[in-house]
Amino acid sequence: MFLFSGRELIESIIWAHNKLKVAPTTQPIALSIVQGRAVGVTHYLLSGIATTWAFFLARITTVG
């Protein structure tokens, strides 16, 4: 299994996108610090909610 950093993953997607010529070429745009933090907080909150729901759903189905 290969481990990609976020930047390598984005660069690979952009390379494939530009190579296939499906749509006009795009250039990556860096997020500002505030935008990056907002994305991080959003992912943190959504993963916490999803994990909590998965726990309760598993508990409900096993306990009955």
Give the per-residue pLDDT at 43: 94
Q: Determine the Cα–Cα distance for residues 45 and 55; give it in Å rounded to an integer.
A: 15
DSSP state for residue 21 in the 8-state scheme: T
pLDDT digits (tens, 9 = 90+) for 3-61: 667 788 888 888 887 788 766 666 767 889 999 899 999 999 999 999 999 999 999 99
Instruction: Decide if 27 contacts 10 (C-beta within 8 A).
Output: no
Give the residue extent of every domain in the chain: 1-28, 31-64
Q: Which two tokens stand for residue 47?
A: 């993963």
